[in-house]
Structure 1
Amino acid sequence: MMLKPIRRKRLYQDIIEQIQLLIRDNELKPGDKLPSEREMAENLSVSRTSVREAISVMESAGLVEVLQGKGVFLINDENTKLLNKLDKLLNSQGLNLIELIEVRQGLEGQAAYLAAIRRSETDLQKIKSAYIKMEKAYANDLVAAEEDYEFHISVVTAAKNPMLLKAVELFTDPFIQGVNILREKSIKSGKGQIILSEHFDIYKAIEEQDELKAQTAMWNHLVAAKKRYFIDS
């Protein structure tokens, strides 16, 4: 008899599943405004913190839009597509990918910031070399996961912080696995040039030694990566 590991769900997953159910029952439709944070917390008997976490995850996946002063709205997409995207979000691969990228945002955003300040000419050449390898791989319709990792680890190395480098290296395997998943989708949807452009913006900001621009470019790239996984169906 084969026993499988039991995966403990987090509360925000239950909240997202409740929203998904409302969509299935046509009580919520694409473009509709979600109940307020207070209403959801009271109706579901959960904390407002858990509701905020659920909304944050859905926003990261590009499934809702948060409009300041107006509320939270479902994206205006076909009902079936919206439900499919929610299914993808709720499976373990989708949630793991979001959690991985969120960690990378913190670590690599800081790395890009420090790299812009501390990089040497040798560091800059290594980042540029990795970018050129990515460019060539994309030109041949290759996934370029190893080349992508080389680019990012070159940025982290240029930050000159051994502890930061060790922290990022802990995620090498899931990083490459995640890039493989994202790149296969990007090739199919023709987003290769957009991804290259995002990496070039990171390189250029580090070259110019503009630390805030470098941090923002890295952050924006990773935010876009999350959304590409769920939106490019």
Structure 2
Amino acid sequence: MPFQRVHSEKLSTAVVRQIELLILRGILRPGERLPSERDLAERLGVSRPSLREAISDLQDKGLLTTRAGAGVFVADVLGSAFSPALVALFSGHDEAVFDYLSFRRDMEGLAAERAAQFASDTDLRVIQSVLSKMEAAHASRATTDEAQLDAAFHMSIVEASHNVVMLHMMRSMYQLLREGVFYNRQVMFRQRRTRDDLLAQHQRINAGLQARDPDAARRAVEDHLDYVAEALRDQQRADRNEDVARMRYAHETEG
């Protein structure tokens, strides 16, 4: 008969499972500091020795890391997603930029479709809140904040899709974007018209999500990323033309 004796779970094992799930579901994020040992033990309702055993186990698994004098942190589990050699290869070739945007178009379109179907009301409030902050940054011309909120808006949609594999994969992709491997988001906010267009596109994405219309949400994401790709092509063309013009000017003024 397929029955096994029931054993009560060790407290430390229960703590490990809870923290693992919080990391898996993207609630605890890479680099996030855990509460102090005393505070965390009280919140979990376990003894400090049981907590220490759980933390040690999670460290052995590479999910937590301890920094001397600073505390316990969620490990940068995204750091191993791409090797340094591959990151260097990405950053050295323009082709990777457009492949990256094409990948995002497909994955984020799917994420928006799923979010429109599966997001909770709270998920949608989070997305709306990020957009509202983006609108405020736009009005005050805080372009750095606006660019950062742009990334946060897209990640909030991925989180609302409730697919943990997609969540961690896209966080890894956004980490490379934050590090400027593919392109600098702030380049997209140089011109007023571009900024206005981008904001309107994010508003259309949000409208599709809030209406729980999967097709509209996906189309809005795809249209937005098509626009980003074309804007980057235009910028690259303009930069090349400026380089040629400077060489001509230097040649003309040499004599």
Q: Same fold (TM over 0.5)?
A: yes
Asked if residue 94 in structure 1 is aligned to residue 94 in structure 2, the reply is: yes
Q: Is the 8 A contact 1:105 1:222 kept in 2?
A: yes
Equivalent position to 1:214, from 212, 217, 221: 217
Asked if residue 205 in structure 1 is aligned to residue 208 in structure 2, the reply is: yes
User: Structure 1 residue 172: deviation in Å?
Assistant: 1.9
User: Structure 1 residue 128: deviation in Å?
Assistant: 0.8
Structure 2 SS opposite 1:114: helix
Match for 2:96: what amino acid? N
What is residue 131 of structure 2 aligned with on the other side? 131
Q: TM-score, normalised by structure 1?
A: 0.56
Residues 27-74 of structure 1 deviation map (CA, whole Å, 9 limit, x = unaligned): xxxxxxxxxxxxxxxxxxxxxxxxxxxxxxxxxxxxxxxxxxxxxxxx
Change (3 A) 1:193 1:166: same
User: Structure 1 residue 194: deviation in Å?
Assistant: 0.6
Residues 169-224 of structure 1 deviation map (CA, whole Å, 9 limit, x = unaligned): 11122233378624324323531111001011111001111101111111111111
What is residue 245 of structure 2 aligned with on the other side? none
Match for 1:132: what amino acid? S
| Paired residues, number | 143
Q: Which moved more, 1:188-197 or 1:112-121?
A: 188-197
Structure 2 SS opposite 1:156: helix
Q: Which runs of 5+ in 1 are unaligned?
A: 1-90
User: Structure 1 residue 161: deviation in Å?
Assistant: 0.9
- How do 1:30-179 residues align onto structure 2 when only pairs under 5 Å count? 92=92, 94-141=94-141, 142-143=143-144, 144-176=146-178, 177=180
CA distance in 2 between partners of 1:129 and 1:92 (Å): 36
Match for 1:160: what amino acid? H
Q: Which runs of 5+ in 2 are unaligned?
A: 1-90, 239-255
Q: TM-score, normalised by structure 2?
A: 0.52
CA distance in 2 between partners of 1:118 and 1:179 (Å): 30
CA distance in 1 between partners of 2:107 and 2:117 (Å): 16
The two structures, once aligned, show a CA RMSD in angstroms of: 2.0
Match for 1:151: what amino acid? F
Change (3 A) 1:150 1:182: closer
Equivalent position to 2:190, from 182, 187, 191: 187
Identity rate of aligned residues, in percent? 24
Q: Is the 8 A contact 1:182 1:228 kept in 2?
A: no
Q: Is the 8 A contact 1:145 1:180 kept in 2?
A: no
CA distance in 2 between partners of 1:200 and 1:222 (Å): 14
What is residue 224 of structure 1 aligned with on the other side? 227
CA distance in 2 between partners of 1:182 and 1:197 (Å): 17
CA distance in 1 between partners of 2:152 and 2:200 (Å): 16
CA distance in 2 between partners of 1:92 and 1:120 (Å): 41
CA distance in 1 between partners of 2:188 and 2:172 (Å): 25
